[in-house]
Structure 1
Amino acid sequence: MKQELYQVLLVDDMPDAVKVLRDRLKAFDFLNVLRIQSDPFEARSFITENKIDILFLDMDMPGMDGFTLIQSLPEPPVVIICSGHNSYAYESYDMQAVGYVDKMVGHEKLVRTLKLAVAEVDKRAALRVRKSTTISLRCMETKVMKIIDKAHIYIAEINGKELTVYLKGADNQIEKLQSNITLTELYNQLSLQDFIRIGRSYVIHRKAIEGYTHSKIVIKDLKMKIPVSALDYQELLSFINQAE
């Protein structure tokens, strides 16, 4: 599967000053570098209407400075302050920018800053996935993608390459769904507040836990007792306590 490129935008009222930086960014094959935006008001509209992952932003622009531009966006991209004035390096902390670079930044610092930016983009994307209330699972029996309410996922277990998801709906009836995704793929899409992973084989919703000991978890409504290692037990205690 082809990896999606990170969308990069440079905003500077003097576009010639960042053309060298733009050309250097194009050498990174995981980036799609868009046309430089020179007007901050047009840039704001462009960012609002398009998917932008990483924003290289000049601070000192006429009509709207960089700080005001970021403050006006409901969901700003990951920001890297790009300026010829070293004083703006300190403002990067106030803006929660991942870094500050000079417009003639050296290669090593540019690479380090891009690594931070990409990591933050991935972190935000993962958080959005976890916050979603639904998940799409391909049912192995029907070969159909089913949209599942995450609140209905009761417990999931992996056996070889087959994932079994136990679903409990409003009628309290439990049904099984077999899917071909991995347990890790499933867990990475679930809320850490509601689900815990136990070992390599199980993911459990907190509402499914009837009781536990140092060595097992008892699952409500199912004749299941899940083995718990010493490490899992400490994580289980933290998981149980965070809901109290």
Structure 2
Amino acid sequence: MARDTLHGLRSSPRHALAKPVRPIDADDAERVAAVMTRFCEADPDPKAGFDDTDPFRLLVTVLLSAQSTGPTVARIAEALFSTVRDPAGMLALGEARILEIIRPVGLGPSKARNIVKLSAALISEHGGAVPRSSVAMRRLPGIGRKSAEVTANFAFHEPVIAVDTHVFRVSNRIPLASGATVDAVADGLARLVPERFKDGAHVWLFRHGRDTCTARKPACPRCPVADLCLWPGKEL
């Protein structure tokens, strides 16, 4: 069985399985809860194998994953962290050498620059440690909402649901929380997903979008939530 890769982070082997906010619609909430219940029943421990995740490595890896494929990012992150363990080590490595290592992931110059700035900020502002909240992480150089929420959720179990391409598509298609922007979908999921499901929601939705509810030719006949899906293009 191939190892699972999310945002460039490989798990250890897994066994199978301030704006006005509109009121939550009861039907929407019921459908979201039903979908999450179904995912949870099929995969009750979605983050198995990620429990020993190093926050700094994860944060840098997710930064590297922008516009890059997971397997490539995982390989490059492994090369980068084979000699570097912490922000101080990253600063010592230097921007030029970092760029040499990470160039295959694309956008290398800006990513190398942000890794150096990020490392310096962690040392000067946080004693060399990654802050535990996604809000604090978003103040770091090069770290946007998705990177912060993936890291906070995986490393510290903060109940936030990061929205990437897969989560955005699935959330709009079923729909769970519709929105024209990533922030709109993330805000909607934060309101609609019951608290007990928030820790695993990102992984469930990511895997569902990657493996089943794909952009082209979604596998509706084997979708575990097909009966709950309202997408007009659904084919059973």
Give the TM-score of the pair, scaled to structure 2: 0.27
The structure richer in strand per residue is 1
The structure whose Rg is larger is: 1
The structure richer in helix per residue is 2
Q: Whose RCO is larger (CA < 8 A, sep 6+)? A: 2
Give the TM-score of the pair, scaled to structure 1: 0.26
